[in-house]
Amino acid sequence: MIEVNNVSKRFLITKSLDNCSIKLETGKIIGIIGENGSGKTTLLKLLSGLLRPSSGDVLIDSEKVTRRISSKLAYLTDADYYFPYFTIEELIRYYESQFADFDTEKALQIIDFMKLKLEQKIKYLSKGNRNRLKIAVTLSRNAPYILLDEPFSGLDPLVRKAILKGMIQFVDLSTQTVLITTHEIKEVEPILDEVVLLRDGRVLVKQSVEEIREAYGLDIVSWMEKVYEKGDI
């Protein structure tokens, strides 16, 4: 389980997260959604240990997250700079040497599924293909928690669809939990179990997608608009 207890994160004058508390159960695909600057990336970085809270605690399976990235997490960054001098094959070997949970066979399957070639040099890949590669190596780790920060940015709609399909195929929800930040809510909605909605660094609400559909008869975007409008549904 992921627990965020009264967490705030300040950068000089900016308050990126403001007294957030959430509990996220395992075995689910959870969407972290909200407008630009609402704190989605900050939240993932705090979970991964890349940032430390200004106050409050982040716990993963009851263990406090320290500065070092927890070995329990596979983290897909939204940063564009990504091992430019490696070929895809060299990157796979590198991941293999760094992560005990890296599944090379799965990596080769996903690379093939993503229509990438092992001999391609990363610096010559298009942005979209670099993103496919990042998704491929992240999903190839059999880590209990997979954090994906904007995994679909720069990908064309057909590829997004294929990758969503792949995500279901290559993630094992009996042992893994996935957190995705995204603005492509409509496309991702079909695979989400829960959403956490942020605004101005605060968690407005965490809700199951089924409840949103059944109780309110709404898709997530319409629900999000309503919550933003009224502060609640």
Binding site for ligand ATP (CB under 6 A): 11, 14, 16, 34, 36-42
DSSP letter at 209 equals H
Q: How far is the CB of 96 from ligand ATP (least distance, A)?
A: 30
How near is the Cβ of 41 to ligand ATP at its closest, in Å?
A: 3
Quick one: 39 or 53, whose CB is closer to ligand ATP? 39
At 135, is the secondary structure helix, strand, or coil? helix
- Provide the minimum distance between the beta carbon of 155 and ligand ATP in the complex, in angstroms, as a whole number: 16
Nearer to ligand ATP, 42 or 131 (CB): 42
Q: Which is nearer to ligand ATP, 37 or 154 (CB)?
A: 37
Q: What is the spatial distance between Cα 125 and Cα 23, in angstroms, rounded to a whole number?
A: 38
Dihedral angle over CA of 42, 47, 50, 54, nearest 10: 70
- The pair phi, psi for residue 189, each rounded to 5°, is -45, -45
Q: How large is the greatest C-alpha to C-alpha distance in the chain, in angstroms? A: 52
Give the shortest CB-202-to-ligand ATP separation in angstroms. 11
C-alpha to C-alpha distance for 176 and 210, rounded to whole angstroms = 20
Between 34 and 53, whose beta carbon lies closer to ligand ATP?
A: 34
